[in-house]
Amino acid sequence: MARVKISEYRAKKILLGDSYKGILVRTEEKQKMPKGGTWVAKVDQGVKKRFKQGLVAVGVTPAQAAKKFALWQKEGFSQFLLEPLVPHKSEEEQYLSLDRVREGIRVLHAGEGGIDIETHPEKVGTYTIANDEDLAIVSSATNIPQTFLRHVLEVFDKNFFAFLEINPLVIQGGKAHLLDAACLVDSAGEFFVTSWGQDDIVKSRAAHESEARVEELQNTTPASLKLSVINPNGSLFFLLSGGGGSIVIADEAELEGAGKLIGNYGEYSGGPTRQETYLYAKEVIALMLKSNAKKKALVIAGGVANFTDVQKTFAGIIDALSEFAPKLREQKVKVFVRRGGPNEKAGLELMCAFLDREKLFGSIHGSDDVITSAVADAIKFAV
């Protein structure tokens, strides 16, 4: 469903096959280092602008590389790449990227390597390839050998790649060297390929522990569960439903100038079960309880659902709220609700009775009220 990064090692292995001599080094696995030679060592975890951050070492011996790896490991990295150095002149460097677009595959090319294409659009040629004819045109316009370009396009398409950036690309005597490569694959393609898998997907950002737990939960259900921590000491905590509706509700807080108060963003959708909703809600509530803000509001809100059962998901949220009810009262948390959809009436009644009984009641709105009603109430309460 989303585009995800795979390791540079895997991308190059898929593109070049056995001719690729790079070595993947992982801290948790033993890896035999080569005896001699001159190498390039780098962090292989989808980090942007590695060179500037000092995460690439060029022209090193295996021993020097091992030292670098140990150093980077201390910085929190765990996956590295060791590649034979390709001696070349800087004017041999080029830029090439492929992006899957509606009409085919969009190719960006520049005769200069190592450039930031965003800042130098004038140096970049843009082409879209949908057939062989296009391919020939691009090949002659860029001077990239047709066989190589065709090979890259085929591999890209067949392996469900979504984006590939080779920067720099060096072509010497008809042989292409991919000095640096970044690759996004389409995670929905995983079922159809054997060339890459979960093990090759890199996560560049170390998630907050709550985020990590929700991610784990997400992996076990067809429903959608997402959580991002914005401000651990925020006042407004969101238990939102729906990919689009959740943004509208969060927008309202930002637009009303309460952006600084937002503790988290997240959403559940796609009909999670009562149990899944319970586990998800628990993470958000726990996060809120840890915030040191003086006034705290929980916003349980969403649009008019198409098929997510309001009663069922609210039962799951109530399960989680019950578990923390004394602490929530202690911290004087109030709960603000807006929701519509299947079994709306029963769900809202259930929630209303519960919040009343537990003295957590902030406000409750159904589908006749505006989607932003609950968050508006919560802002008034928290500010």
Partner 1 sequence: MNFIDATRKGKEGILVLGNHPQIVQSILDFDFVCGKREPSVVAVIGGARRAQKFFFGPSELLIPCFADVSKVPQGLRGKIFWMLNVQSGRRSFDSTVSFFETFPHALGGHLFAENIPERHSTELIRRFGATKLLAGPSGVGFLVPGYLKLGAIGGTDAAMLEASKLATEGTIAVVSTSGGMTNELIRAVANAGKRLSFAISIGGDRFPVTSLSEVLLLAQSDSKTKAIVYFGELGGVDEYEIVELIEKKKLTKPVLAYVAGIIDEAFDEHMQFGHAKALVARPSESARAKRDALRKAGALAPETFPEFLARMKKLPGTTVRDMALPMDALQKRRASVLSTRQVVDLDETPIFVKAKKLVSQKEGFATKIFESLLDRKLRSPSTAGFAEAVFGLLIDHGGEVSGAVNTMISARAGRDLVSSLASGLLTIGPRFGGAVNAAAGQWLDGVCGAESAAEFVEKRTKGGNLLAGIGHRKYRVGIPDPRVAALADFATLLKQHPYYDFAREVEKVTTAKNGSLILNVDGVMAALALDIFAQCEQLSQDELRELVTTEFFNALFVIPRTVGFIAHFMEQKKNDEGLFRLPEELLFVRRKKK
Least distance to partner 1, CB of residue 330, Å: 28
Looking at the Cβ atoms of 58 and 255, the one nearer to partner 1 is: 255
Interface with partner 1 includes 241 (CB under 8 A)? yes
**Count of CA atoms in the C-beta half-sphere (13 A) of 278:** 12
Least distance to partner 1, CB of residue 181, Å: 19
Which of helix, strand or coil describes residue 23? Answer: strand
Residue (of 223, 225, 222, 228) closest to 209 by Cα position: 228
Least distance to partner 1, CB of residue 89, Å: 32
Judge whether 184 and 162 are in contact, CB under 8 Å: yes
Looking at the Cβ atoms of 162 and 164, the one nearer to partner 1 is: 162
Judge whether 228 and 267 are in contact, CB under 8 Å: no
Q: Which residue bears the tokens 């520049």?
A: 110
Among residues 182, 230, 284, 337, the one that binds partner 1 under rule CB under 8 A: 230
Q: What are the two backbone dihedrals, phi and then psi, of residue 132, each rounded to the nearest 5 degrees?
A: -60, -35
Crossing angle between the packed helical segments 243-255 and 373-382, to the nearest 10 degrees: 40
Interface with partner 1 includes 217 (CB under 8 A)? no
Interface with partner 1 includes 243 (CB under 8 A)? yes
- Alpha-carbon distance 182 to 23, whole Å? 16
Looking at the Cβ atoms of 92 and 215, the one nearer to partner 1 is: 215
Interface with partner 1 includes 232 (CB under 8 A)? no
Among residues 254, 257, 353, 359, the one that binds partner 1 under rule CB under 8 A: 254
Interface with partner 1 includes 64 (CB under 8 A)? no
Among residues 209, 216, 251, 330, the one that binds partner 1 under rule CB under 8 A: 251
- Which tokens go with 28? 């948790």
Interface with partner 1 includes 145 (CB under 8 A)? no
Looking at the Cβ atoms of 19 and 194, the one nearer to partner 1 is: 194
Judge whether 12 and 178 are in contact, CB under 8 Å: yes
User: What is the pattern of x (binds partner 1, CB under 8 A) and - over residues 112-141?
Assistant: ------x-----------------------
182 to each of 7, 96, 112, 163, 295, how far by Cα in Å? 8, 11, 17, 8, 44
Interface with partner 1 includes 264 (CB under 8 A)? no
Looking at the Cβ atoms of 57 and 299, the one nearer to partner 1 is: 299
Interface with partner 1 includes 367 (CB under 8 A)? yes
List Cβ neighbours of 380 (8 Å cut-off, separation of 6 or more). none
User: What is the pattern of x (binds partner 1, CB under 8 A) and - over residues 157-196?
Assistant: x--x-x-----------------------xxxx-xx----
Among residues 180, 200, 267, 377, the one that binds partner 1 under rule CB under 8 A: 267
Interface with partner 1 includes 255 (CB under 8 A)? yes
Among residues 94, 269, 291, 363, the one that binds partner 1 under rule CB under 8 A: 269
Interface with partner 1 includes 203 (CB under 8 A)? no
Looking at the Cβ atoms of 262 and 318, the one nearer to partner 1 is: 262
Interface with partner 1 includes 2 (CB under 8 A)? yes
Q: Which residue bears the tokens 């050998």?
A: 145
- Alpha-carbon distance 170 to 172, whole Å? 6
Interface with partner 1 includes 293 (CB under 8 A)? no
How many Cβ atoms are within 10 Å of 302's Cβ, its own excluded? 28
184 to each of 78, 124, 187, 205, 362, how far by Cα in Å? 20, 21, 9, 15, 44
Q: Which residue bears the tokens 């140990």?
A: 70
6 to each of 54, 96, 193, 252, how far by Cα in Å? 21, 18, 14, 35
- Which tokens go with 364? 């409750």
Q: Applying CB under 8 A, which residues contact partner 1?
A: 1-3, 100-102, 104, 118, 157, 160, 162, 186-189, 191-192, 224, 226, 228, 230, 241-248, 250-255, 259, 262, 265, 267, 269-270, 302-307, 340-345, 367-368, 370-372
